[in-house]
Every structure is written in structure tokens, then in C-alpha cells.
Amino acid sequence: MPFAVVQIPAILPRLLQLPSEEGNAQFILLEDIVSEHIDRLFSGVKIGTISCFRIMRNADLDIDDEDAADLLSEIETQVRQRRWGEVIRLEIQSGYDEEILPILTENFEISDRDLYEIPGPLDLTFLSKLPPFFKDRQNLFYPSFTPQPSSAFYGKDDYFSVIREKDVILNHPYEDFDTVIELIRRAAEDPNVLAIKQTLYRVGGQSPIITSLAEAAIRGKQVLVLVELRARFDEENNIQWAKKLEQAGCHVIYGLVGLKTHSKITLIVRNEEDGIRRYVHLATGNYNETTARIYADLGLLTCSEPFGRDATDFFNMISGYSMPLSWRKLIPAPRWLRIDTLNRIEQEMKNAREGKPAVIVAKINSLVDPEIIDALYRASQAGVRITLIVRGICCLRPGIKNFSENIHVRSIVGRYLEHSRIIYFYNDGQEDLFLSSADWMPRNLDRRIELQFPVEEKSARMRVFHVLYVQLMDTDRARIMRPDGTYHRVDRRRKETFDSQVRLCHDAIEAAASLNPEPRMMDRYIPSEVNATAVFKDDK
């Protein structure tokens, strides 16, 4: 039978408001208007059936770094070809005519297993356009929250003196990402700053950080920027920024052969009265002012000399000047992070066998690495108490008798995307605490440039422990994994409703209001030899 496709341009608004009585709001989707008036598009043709569908294509770029003479131009070419990528999924609205299916599957060369029937509108992202029309129905939406200024820097003219005083933890989006933007802007304009070096994975559409880096280069500072051109779906954006930075005089690196650079680090080299000092920003999230408002991430600001020397070695490594044999504080992937993690798990196992308290807590996005999972199983059998906060994919199965009964897994999905990675090892009372850009996945540990780094200064540690504590106390957004891999809500009997993200919003508001850099009553959350094994294991 004759078959035609009407492609709806993405540039047109999909949600349209209809005239309605005052106090009501009525809408219609663009595809419904097209369906209703399809006879005007095909005049004189008898319409048999109409169905709404959409396709998804494989967006991976097939690039051989070693054979690509010009990586930038090669990625530019492949990004343009992405719109013709292989179809991997077809969604069709319920109520479709069965005669349409063979035509679609044959034309798009897909099997029945790639076909998904959707009982309702396709692609629900249009719902994000609704809030302005329902101002009188605020019960349908999250309460408004404005990221708070970092109380450590609030009202301070000299950001560098704040970092010299002590390490600072930034907790986004509860605290405003403007602190990071402002630091880089001031560094670009500061005549005492000699160099700025930074890795960029995903950057905002109108990035003030790019503007500051370009300004620093124009002012004669040494600016080195690694722009990861292969950040999926941000390739085109990153190509534009790379060209702009090059035109301003920055030394731009497009990435390393065979490895994506996923680390988040900035190094600022400054000439001061007592000599050269290096300021370092390390983070779990990207330098993207847009996603920083919806991704929950942590950042560390320090001018510790060991961190500064490691940061220098790191940028020398990714720019091809040297390959360090060892590190003082930073733990990079792919060469070092896997080994270090396995060794620390092994140490907890050894301590447990000796009858000592042994605890591992990890907050990560995904856990799929077979070697790490196997090590955690063995640690559980040795008596190590393990608590995992895994927001997304978790291939480990907890709570299996005589196998993983000492492992508890929870997932927190809320208003903000849980994106920070926090790793804790009790280590016979030394309590090693780390932040990381890496998840426990083969791609992160073996095929990406990642950075894990310790949090050592007391007040900084308190803030990170506080995040872990409130997430383990969550009874509202948290789901607990069963041994069969399914999830269930927290048993709220004899427990109050507790939303960890709401609590962190309140903490940020209180801290900003009182100009106190620590959330109220935070000291009670610091794990000790006694409560580290108690607080971090009780997820049932």
C-alpha cells in the first residue's frame, strides 16, 4: 500500500496552548494537529491510517584516533553524518494499524525487539514547558530553590586568601557554581597569575569559563586547555569552543589517543610574595554552569603543595611532556585507579579477618566492573561492612546469605541528578575519604583519563561526610535493592520522612544566611571508630 512520512521539524514548538476559559489551561500537541488536518497535506488522497512514531539512531562516532590525521576535522565530518546513523529503536504510539509495522521495520531495518509501543504521547520532554501555566498549582512542582552563595567566599574580595586559609568544599547545586566561574574570571584578570590549565569535558552553551580562558590568553598568560572533542552529544559544541580558544592564543589539546579525558581539574599558577603558589580545583562534575544547577556534584579547592605538584605533573602527562612514576595525592585512571581501589578493598578484608572494624562506603553513578564487584563480594564474605549508594546501573546483588549478606545497596533518584562520587574506607581508623570523577565501570577505569583525590582537611571532610550521612538517612527518595536485583522503598515504620536533597537545600540556605561555612550540627556526623560501622551499614 502507498506509504508516506510527515517529519515534524524540531524547530517548531510541540506544545501549543488552546483558547480556554479563565482559570483553565488547555493544550494540544503539534502531532495531533497534523493528524487532524492530514487531508490538507494529501489533498485528493484517501487516508487509510495514521500513526505517530519516532526513531532513535546510533550516536556513537566510529573514529580510529591513530588513523585520523586531523582529529578535529574527522569528528566534524562524523557529527554531520550522525543524522544518518543506524536505527536502533522505534517507538510507536498505541493504537497503530498492524499493517504499518512491516513497512517501518523493513525500511528502518530493525527487528521486533527494537520496537516499543508507547501508551501515550512520545517523548515526554514537552512537559517541562508546563510549569509557567500552572502558577496556582504549586503542589504539582518542586518548591523553587535558588543555589546559595558559598559562605566560604561570601563577601570576600580575595578568593586566593580564602583557599590559602583552608581547603574548601563546594556542594552544587545547593551552592552556586558562580564561585568556580568567578575564581577563573579573577585568575584571568589577576596580573599575578602566570598560568591557567584546565580540562573541559562538557561545557555550557554560553560558557563564561571559555570567555575567561580566552581573556587570560589575550592578557599574555599561559593557558593550556584540554577540550575533549569526543564527549558524546557535545562534540559540535566542544569543536566551536576549541576553535575559539585557539584563536585567542590558548594551547588547546583535543584529547589523548584511545582515551577520553573525563577528569575535572583546574590549575592556577600564581606569583606571590613568598614565591610561586599553585591553586587547584578538582571536581566530580563538569565545568558546565547549566548542568551545575541540576546535577549534584562536589568540588574541592586547595593550594596544598602536594596537590599542586601532582596537578602540574598531570597536565605535563596529558600534554605529552612526561609520564610520572608515582603520585603524591591524585590517583589517575587508567593506569593507577583500578589497582589502588582493589588494594584498598583488600586492606579492608585483611583488617576484617584480624577482627578489626572494616567498612567501605561508595556513592557512585554506576557499578558494572566485574573485577571490583568480585572484590566486594569477597570483602563481604570476609566480614567487611559495605554500603553502596548507586544511582543508576548496579550489577552487584546484595544480601545473599554467605555471599553478599554484608553488602547493602540503595539508589537515590530525586529532584537533582546524583552525580558525585564519594569513596570511603575505614582503614583501621584512618578513615580515607575520596572524591572522584570515575564510576566503577570498565570504561572509566580502563579507557578514560579520570582523577580520584583525597579530602584531608578537617572542615572539608565534615562537609563530605555530611552528604553521605543525609543520603544514608533518606527515607523518601531512596530505594533499597533486594538480592534479586529489584528495588523497594525504605521501611518507614518508626521513621520520619526524610528527603536528603531537601535537607541539603535547607543546609545551604542556613549556611548562607548565617555566613557559617558549616551546616548546622554537622559535627555529629563525623564517623568515629564506633559509629562508622553503625551509621554506614544500617540501610535495611
Note the pLDDT tens digit of each residue in 397-425. 999 999 999 999 999 999 999 999 999 99
Q: For the CA atoms of the chain, what is the radius of gyration? A: 26
Counting every residue, how long is the chain? 540
Alpha-carbon distance 355 to 435, whole Å? 28
Helix residue ranges, H only, 137-226: 159-165, 178-189, 208-218
Look up residue 400 and give its three cell numbers. Answer: 545473599
Note the pLDDT tens digit of each residue in 282-319. 999 999 999 999 999 999 999 999 999 999 999 999 98
- Reply yes or no: is the peptide bond before residue 334 cis, omega within 30 of 0: yes
Residue 216 reports pLDDT greater than 60: yes
Question: Residue 477: which pLDDT band, with cuts at 50, 70 and 90?
Answer: very high
Which has the higher per-residue pLDDT, 394 or 141?
A: 394
Residue 320 reports pLDDT greater than 50: yes
Burial 200-226 (b: 16+ CB within 10 A, else e): bbbbbeebebbbbbbbbbeeebebbbb
Q: 264, 252 in Cβ contact below 8 A?
A: no
Q: Which domains does the chain have, with CATH numbers?
A: 15-140 (no CATH), 159-329 (3.30.870.10), 333-535 (3.30.870.10)
Query: What's residue 128's pLDDT?
Result: 83
Name beta bridge partners: 168: 301
The side-by-side arrangement of strands in the sheet containing 53-57 is 53-57, 87-93, 115-118
Q: 123, 116 in Cβ contact below 8 A?
A: no
Look up residue 406 and give its three cell numbers. Answer: 554484608
Alpha-carbon distance 409 to 536, whole Å? 11
Query: What's residue 502's pLDDT?
Result: 94
Task: Indicate if the alpha-carbon torsion angle 92, 93, 98, 100 is positive or negative.
Answer: negative
In Å, what is the CA distance from 21 to each residue of 30, 129, 132, 133, 443? Answer: 21, 20, 17, 13, 55
Q: 400, 407 in Cβ contact below 8 A?
A: no
Query: What's residue 163's pLDDT?
Result: 98
Residue 284 CA to chain centroid, in angstroms? 7
Residue 269 reports pLDDT greater than 90: yes
State whether residue 404 is helix, strand or coil: coil
Query: What's residue 387's pLDDT?
Result: 97
DSSP strand pairing (421-425 vs 222-227): unpaired
Note the pLDDT tens digit of each residue in 433-454. 999 999 999 999 999 999 999 9
Alpha-carbon distance 70 to 150, whole Å? 42
Q: Please give the helix or strand (H or E) that residue 274 lies within, else none.
A: none
Catalytic center residues: 262
Query: What's residue 40's pLDDT?
Result: 86
Residue 65 reports pLDDT greater than 80: no
Which has the higher per-residue pLDDT, 446 or 88?
A: 446
Question: Residue 506: which pLDDT band, with cuts at 50, 70 and 90?
Answer: very high
Query: What's residue 305's pLDDT?
Result: 97
pTM of the model: 0.86
Alpha-carbon distance 222 to 269, whole Å? 9
Q: At how many degrees (to 10) do helices 235-248 and 71-81 cross?
A: 150
Query: What's residue 1's pLDDT?
Result: 65
Alpha-carbon distance 522 to 457, whole Å? 15
What phi-psi label fits residue 14: left (phi over 0), alpha (psi between -120 and 50 degrees) or beta? alpha
